[in-house]
């Protein structure tokens, strides 16, 4: 099942993707048991939004592919390397990534994102998938020059529009060896497989939930494969994961 958050006629709603249409839900499906309103709307007539809640945390895992750790000039960390993005960085399908004037190099980073279904604290890896609602796609946009300058990552990864997420949540997806890619103006930039992650989803949830309580709607980005590179105004970035879909955002 694919669940989307969307805006239509100025109202934010949730719906189930059914071909070219959305079956409108009465509220957030985690809290209303997928109860429908009886309405349908065409996807082409709505704005798809990042599938977040006002309380959502955007938790990110860095250097989780060996080839990406190598291209960054270091070894992969023994434990999942965790950082946060502000919720104000989140944008949805088709929304614009805005390049900040104070950076000269902004990079794309394609990532699988995990959406949490229920409160989770100190969850062991063998129980972790019980707390997963589904998966979506994310682009961990990064001001690389500021990351190198600051020595820590908050500013470089925290700009408004620096976390495209979507286009929906796939609740029946299971990460295995699916392809994950980034294309910029149609040119292939990143290509990897999800089974190349150093720390898998259960290990990541175990690690993060030891530090902070995970809440329904929290989203964990799981790292990017090699091939990160700059994006420029006027380009279009497309991040895709086999079995989930494509997340496309213009750059300005």
The answer to whether residues 235 and 172 belong to one domain is yes
- Binning pLDDT at 50, 70 and 90, where does residue 69 land? confident
- The CA distance from 141 to 86, in Å, is 12
Residues of the domain holding 220 = 50-250
- The CA distance from 32 to 25, in Å, is 8
| Chain segment 18-54, per-residue pLDDT in tens | 999 999 999 999 999 999 999 999 999 999 999 999 9
Distance of CA 143 to the CA centre of its chain: 17
The answer to whether residues 121 and 14 belong to one domain is no
pTM: 0.96
The answer to whether residues 102 and 136 belong to one domain is yes
Return the structure tokens found at 180.
Answer: 């994950």
The answer to whether residues 61 and 37 belong to one domain is no
The answer to whether residues 29 and 110 belong to one domain is no
- The proportion of the chain whose per-residue pLDDT surpasses 90, expressed as a percent, equals 95
Pairing outcome for strands 219-221 and 58-62: parallel
CATH number of the domain that 95 lies in? 3.90.850.10
- The CA distance from 12 to 205, in Å, is 29
The answer to whether residues 39 and 108 belong to one domain is no
| Chain segment 92-128, per-residue pLDDT in tens | 999 999 999 999 999 999 999 999 999 999 999 999 9
CATH number of the domain that 27 lies in? 2.30.30.370
Give the total number of structural domains in the chain.
2
pLDDT of residue 169: 98
The answer to whether residues 2 and 92 belong to one domain is no
In the predicted structure, residue 14 carries a pLDDT above the cut 90:
yes
């Amino acid at each position: 099942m694919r669940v989307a958050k969307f805006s239509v006629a100025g109202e934010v709603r949730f719906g189930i993707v059914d071909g070219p249409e959305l079956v409108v839900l009465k509220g957030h499906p985690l809290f209303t048991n997928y109860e429908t309103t009886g309405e349908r709307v065409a996807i082409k007539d709505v704005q798809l939004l990042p599938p977040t809640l006002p309380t959502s945390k955007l938790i990110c895992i860095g250097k989780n592919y060996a080839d990406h750790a190598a291209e960054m000039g270091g070894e992969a960390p023994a434990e999942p390397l965790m950082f946060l993005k502000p919720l104000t960085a989140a944008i949805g399908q088709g929304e614009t990534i805005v390049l900040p004037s104070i950076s000269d190099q902004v990079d794309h980073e394609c990532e699988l994102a995990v959406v949490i279904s229920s409160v989770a604290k100190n969850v062991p890896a063998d129980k972790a998938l019980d707390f997963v609602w589904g998966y979506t796609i994310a682009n961990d946009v990064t001001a690389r020059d500021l990351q190198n300058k600051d020595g820590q990552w908050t500013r470089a990864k925290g700009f408004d529009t620096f976390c495209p997420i979507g286009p929906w949540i796939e609740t029946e997806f299971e990460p295995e060896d699916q392809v994950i890619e980034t294309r910029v103006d149609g040119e292939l930039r990143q290509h990897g497989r999800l089974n190349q992650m150093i720390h898998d989803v259960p290990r990541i949830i175990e690690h993060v939930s030891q530090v902070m309580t995970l809440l329904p709607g929290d989203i964990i980005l799981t790292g990017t494969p090699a091939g990160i590179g700059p994006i420029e105004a006027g380009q279009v970035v497309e991040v895709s994961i086999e079995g989930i879909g494509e997340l496309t955002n213009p750059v300005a």
